Amino acid sequence: MSGKTFKEASTIRTNFHSHTTRCQHATGADEDYVLAAIAAGYSHLGFSDHSPFPYEDGFVSGMRMRIDQYQDYLGSVRELRERYQDQISIHLGVEAEYYERYQGWLAGQLSSGTLEYLILGSHYDLPEESFYFGEANTPALLRRYAEHTIRGMESGLYRCLAHPELFMISMERFDENCAAASRDICRAAKEQGVLLEYNLSGLYYQSWRAGAGYPTPGFWQIAAREGASAIIGLDAHNPARYVDTRVYDQARKDLAALGIRVADSLLPCAGDSDLAV
Ligand SMILES: [Zn+2]
Ligand SMILES: [Zn+2]
């Protein structure tokens, strides 16, 4: 029956942006994320915890896994993939900064088949964690974020840019400087074939630093105008994010209303959905 077919197609749910407690700011066992995703009807779950980096200077990050936790992360996701293969398709990636010095290491994780995909989480400028882009609140700092992030997209390693409008954490309103940064980011994303993430985690924040937060309507209007493509990301730091399927399904409708093409996968060569076109 065509009505049934449409209903099934319209409720496709995938999420390739999921964290684990190794990053030090998530809750729940790895398996809890899988069980929550299955219960909520997700067909694909990609783990993409904050990547470790092989720091040469002994730097210890407070917001990503340590390099000595990496094998445990890989092993856990592979074991879950195996155990739940009949119920959900589990994938293995990381969310990583654009740190030029470690691009060779990241590229090696992809070329060796250790990881299936990389998400660009452009949170910090260099040197490591010196400036948090969520604090960008002047035209100069917005430029700094846009330029660094575009260089990351141009590296060709990342399939997706997480929360592209991160600067709205501190920007009170989406002004002409935000629009200019957004236009440059959307244009580069389209040119490089990088998907822009419609990040749903922002909907759960109780408060932002000083800004309006994300998702940001002004940004997505520009993304639509520039013809960039999107993917919906839960950015789940808590298994409960999978439960709230109304938020996910509404995001699909909102992007469709803007005429933005929505991909269902971050895997190489995977087909994009035509649902939202
Ligand atoms: Zn995080
Ligand atoms: Zn994330």
* pLDDT at position 274: 38
* CATH architecture, domain defined by 13-263: Alpha-Beta Barrel (3.20)
Type and span of the H or E element at 120: strand 117-120
User: Is pLDDT of 275 > 60?
Assistant: no
Report CA(20)–ligand 1 centroid distance (Å). 9
- d(Cα 229, Cα 201) in Å, to the nearest integer? 19
Report CA(162)–ligand 1 centroid distance (Å). 11
Confidence label for 210 from pLDDT (cuts 50, 70 and 90): confident
CB 30 within 8 A of CB 236: no
Q: What are the extents of the domains in the chain?
A: 13-263
Nearest ligand to the CA of 65 is 1
Report CA(5)–ligand 2 centroid distance (Å). 33
CB 246 within 8 A of CB 234: no
Q: Tens digit of pLDDT for each residue in 129-167?
A: 889 999 999 999 999 999 999 999 999 999 999 999 999
User: Is pLDDT of 126 > 90?
Assistant: no
Q: Tens digit of pLDDT for each residue in 42-92?
A: 999 999 999 999 998 888 899 999 999 999 999 999 999 999 999 999 999
How many other CB atoms sit within 10 Å of the CB of residue 222?
A: 23
User: Is pLDDT of 207 > 80?
Assistant: no
Rounded mean pLDDT of the chain? 92
* pLDDT at position 10: 53
Nearest ligand to the CA of 122 is 2
How many other CB atoms sit within 10 Å of the CB of residue 1?
A: 6
What token pair was written down for 251?
């995001």
Q: Tens digit of pLDDT for each residue in 255-274?
A: 999 999 999 999 986 544 43
pTM to 2 decimals? 0.93
User: Is pLDDT of 229 > 60?
Assistant: yes
